[in-house]
Amino acid sequence: MTNSVSAELIYQNYAVIGEGSLWDPENERLYWVDIMRNQVYAFDPKNNSNLGYDVKENVGTVVLREKGGLMLALKNGFASLDLETGEVEKIADPESDIPNNRFNDGKCDPQGRFWAGTMAYDSKKGAGSLYCLETDHSVSLKIKNVTISNGLIWNQSQTVFYYIDSRACSVDAYEYQAGTGAISNRRTVKSFPENGTVPDGMAIDENDFLWVAMYRGGKVLRIHPQSGETVFEVEIPGARQITSCAFGGKNLDELYITSAGQKLSEEEWKEQPNAGGLFRIKVPFKGVPSSKYKG
């Protein structure tokens, strides 16, 4: 029997698409985004405040930058955000010729490169790709023919890259070459039934187990990295469109979880009054610090 616990709503922002949760251990706050409202948020758990930065275009995810500030994956490519001035500086747009696409989820690899993927606004099959912003600001293409580029993470030994294309309804793994960032030999870790519930954002704990947010599933699953077995579940009360998760807190044993309220009917809002909120729960596992962009 899978152990199951329930998260707590800690901030109701009614996000259209809350996403991109990222813990900053130095400042002890959580960064996250509302993609469609063009907002990057800094949530401070000490006083439950949620400061917003308007970045003027749809924003898929956020990562820490080693030299300070944040890096973003925007509708129109990779950019930096100065947290003091709110200034956004564009760096590279690999899909400037594809106006109907936007960037979605992303993370930094252990070597400090920023990986993020794209999708079409209408979720057209195969319209997206996964890219890597190198530390010299050049961009390399990693995976083509993606429909909804989503969760991605690396294991502790830096030998495996895990990736989710939500429409494929699976968590896949690639062999990863740390020095070059090359990926190869794709295999499926876990397939999900095509019943409307799809895997979305992803985190990893210190034991290399994967934590997968289930969109329309109202849960985050802890999955064995080899067998794909679900060994632990976090249920999200009053929200089903679960989008991302990140370990935070002083000991990295608190799981922060984002959700979305997009396209809910009046009846669905009655069933999901916490949709678009930010959630948290202390779990009997610890995460690992997020890597920073080194460019």
- Helix, strand, or coil here: 111? coil
pLDDT tens per residue, range 75-130: 999 999 999 999 999 999 999 999 999 999 999 999 999 999 999 999 999 999 99
pLDDT tens per residue, range 183-232: 999 999 999 999 999 999 999 999 999 999 999 999 999 999 999 999 99
**What's the rounded Cα separation, in Å, for the pair 285 and 295?**
31
Contact present, 269 and 275 (Cβ < 8 Å):
yes
Class of domain 3-282: mainly beta
Give the pLDDT mean for 254-281.
98
- The pTM for the full model equals 0.97
H or E segment at 107? strand 101-108
**What's the rounded Cα separation, in Å, for the pair 247 and 28?**
12
Q: Which of 122, 200, 205, 253 is catalytic?
A: 200
- Predicted confidence band of residue 27 (pLDDT cuts 50, 70, 90): very high
Q: Among 209, 235, 234, 236, which Cα is nearest to 223's?
A: 209
**What's the rounded Cα separation, in Å, for the pair 191 and 149?**
16
Give the 3-state secondary structure percentages of the chain, helix then strand then coil, rounded to 5.
5, 55, 40
Calculate the average pLDDT of the chain. Answer: 97
Query: Does the structure show a pLDDT above 70 at 1?
Result: no
Confidence at residue 40, expressed as pLDDT on a 0 to 100 scale:
98
pLDDT tens per residue, range 115-163: 999 999 999 999 999 999 999 999 999 999 999 999 999 999 999 999 9
H or E segment at 269? helix 266-271
Who's near 192: CB < 8 A, 6+ residues apart? 169, 170, 198, 199
> Residue 157's CB: how many other CB atoms inside 10 A?
10
- Predicted confidence band of residue 2 (pLDDT cuts 50, 70, 90): confident
Q: How far is CA 138 from CA 115, 205, 211, in A?
A: 12, 30, 30
Who's near 112: CB < 8 A, 6+ residues apart? 66, 135, 291, 292, 293, 294, 295
Query: Does the structure show a pLDDT above 80 at 243?
Result: yes
Q: Among 258, 260, 148, which Cα is nearest to 203's?
A: 258
Contact present, 238 and 275 (Cβ < 8 Å):
yes
**What's the rounded Cα separation, in Å, for the pair 160 and 172?**
10
Query: Does the structure show a pLDDT above 90 at 238?
Result: yes
**What's the rounded Cα separation, in Å, for the pair 116 and 108?**
9
- 200 part of the active site: yes
Domain boundaries, given as residue ranges, for the chain: 3-282
Q: Among 34, 283, 200, which Cα is nearest to 42's?
A: 34
